Structure 1
């Protein structure tokens, strides 16, 4: 791909990203109340996205072969438990990821 096509591609990607970031602020006025659909999506989408991520992370687990998904199940349980206890999403995700990496590299290796 020639340099001018690369530059055009980068500019178009930048413009599309900026448009999706700024469009809600241009469309929804700060003076008017937030539309009910936007409030609903703001409440429902985070849980739906994390549910989707859990399904995606567990889709390739070999449940029939040793260790039968034990590292994944332990890490998911610890992540959920930490989140219910501390209510700190970043802490629970980081701890669950670190525990999973420890389990697959050291314990169940």
Structure 2
């Protein structure tokens, strides 16, 4: 019973948070919100890349090679396909294969 109440509360909170911008900005979205909508996705991706690579040691074997190869693959696949999901998936699979089978 407690779990069901918790799930209902979390679901309602999520719905309210997602619906709030549409309720607040019914007529016209302010320019600063439009600006943030254009800038934040790239900033968030940049922060995620830094976070993922922060613990890579360039002085210990394998010297960051799996991360470098997988990151390069993500960049190449993104340039060729323009599909973020495919790029990230290919980089993740490549990294896992490199770590498990090669290095």
Fold-level match, TM-score > 0.5? yes
Match of 1:102 in 2: 97
User: Which 4+ residue blocks in structure 1 deviate beyond 2 angstroms?
Assistant: 6-12
Aligned to 2:83: 88
C-alpha RMSD of the superposition:
1.4
| Partner of residue 27, structure 1 | 24
Q: For structure 1, which runs of at least 5 residues remain unmatched after alignment? A: none
Q: TM-score, normalised by structure 2?
A: 0.89
Structure 2 CA distance for aligned equivalents of residues 94 and 10 of structure 1: 30
Match of 1:63 among 54, 58, 64: 58
Deviation, structure 1 residue 61: 1.4
The residue that corresponds to 1:11 in the other structure is 8
Q: How many pairs were matched up?
A: 103
Structure 2 alignment gaps of length 5 or more: none
1:41 Cα deviation from its structure 2 partner: 1.1
